[in-house]
Amino acid sequence: MSHCHSNHLSTLPNWTPKDIREPQLENELKECCGRVFIDSAPEFCIPETSTINLKHVDVILISNYQSMLALPYITERTEFSGIVFATDPTLQIAKQFMEEMVKYIERTPKARQASLWKKSSVYKHIPLAFNVDTNQNSKPFLWQQIYSTKELNNSLSKVKVIGFAEQIDIFGSLQAQALSAGYCIGSCNWVITSNHEKIVYLSNSSTLTTHPKPMDHIPLRNADVLVLNNLSQTPHVNPDSMLGEFCVNIGKALQMGGNVLVPCYSSGVIYDLFECLALH
């Protein structure tokens, strides 16, 4: 996608799929270096909502800032009226991340909103520069444009901040706790207990020692139900040594009077890097 005005981009040739008769479609697709791009404002794949009525959802538990980026689509564009819980670092980092994303897109608005290419009979024949999932809930016709700043602020105002290991009472029926996941600053796993059962929701987690708060794994034991968000194999390269090399090279560059540019998001992982760089 492009977020700058460019004569080169505006003069790119149109592209039309063979054997598809859509007169206006050629105004939505551009060709560049043998690849096809959509000339439209950016859109996002929102959380799946077709199999659940969010009107009946009472509580949302946020595990880390990455899991929170789509929250306005739920709180502001559905009938959800429940409570959202998150740790304070998760809320603050997600807020910065989302504000930056909204401003990035809004500062160069595009008048065009392409929609014809989203037809199933069309996009399957377009050699797009990205992969479109065949999953029903990831199909382009479900994508939406970015939420507004007002929607963002309204959504964040509905989040209730909780601390690690704090007992949350959920309607007198359940107790919930957020336990450090060690994945990123503010990240957590959830333990939900009733009078008879213990449910553990294991989100993105890390047992490495490079994060400011280690994973709290002892309270996760002896669960009756374990819900796993995802699984990954142990990395072939140890991040500890990679971060050590990263910090050493930065130190050398600064000692020689140089500057260091780190290509990463200005929110999120940068705060973990600060923790590692502080010692150097």
Tally of residues, the chain: 280
- Looking at mean pLDDT, say which of 33-42, 86-95, 226-235 comes out highest: 86-95
Burial of 127 (0-12, 13-18, 19+ CB in 10 A): exposed
Strand 43-44 to strand 59-61: parallel, antiparallel, or no bridges (unpaired)? unpaired
Predicted pLDDT of residue 121? 67
For residues 233-253, average pLDDT: 81
Identify the band that residue 221 occupies on the pLDDT scale cut at 50, 70 and 90.
Answer: very high
Go through 226-258 and write b for each residue having 16 or more CB atoms within 10 A of its CB, e for each that does not.
Answer: eeeeeeeeeeeeeeeeebeebbeebeeeeeeee
Q: 107 or 149: whose pLDDT is higher? A: 149
User: Per the structure block, which two tokens stand in for 176?
Assistant: 């919930």
Predicted pLDDT of residue 235? 66
DSSP E strand boundaries for 49-131: 59-61, 83-87
Residue type, 13: P
pLDDT digits (tens, 9 = 90+) for 117-135: 777 667 777 777 666 655 5
Residue type, 102: V
Strand 83-87 to strand 59-61: parallel, antiparallel, or no bridges (unpaired)? parallel
- Weakest mean pLDDT among 12-26, 27-41, 79-93, 244-258: 12-26
Q: 135 or 179: whose pLDDT is higher? A: 179
* Contact status, residue 168 vs residue 176, Cβ threshold 8 Å: yes
CB atoms within 10 A of CB 116: 16
Q: What is the rounded distance in angstroms from the CA atom of residue 114 to the CA atom of residue 45?
A: 15
Residue type, 210: T
CB atoms within 10 A of CB 141: 9
Provide the percentage of residues in the chain whose pLDDT is more than 90: 45
Q: What is the rounded distance in angstroms from the CA atom of residue 187 to the CA atom of residue 173?
A: 25
Q: 111 or 74: whose pLDDT is higher? A: 74
240's enclosing H/E stretch is: helix 239-255
Q: What is the rounded distance in angstroms from the CA atom of residue 65 to the CA atom of residue 91?
A: 7
Q: 19 or 48: whose pLDDT is higher? A: 48
Go through 183-206 and write b for each residue having 16 or more CB atoms within 10 A of its CB, e for each that does not.
Answer: bbbbbbbbbbbeeeebbbbbbbbb
For residues 231-245, average pLDDT: 75
Domain extents for the chain? Answer: 239-279
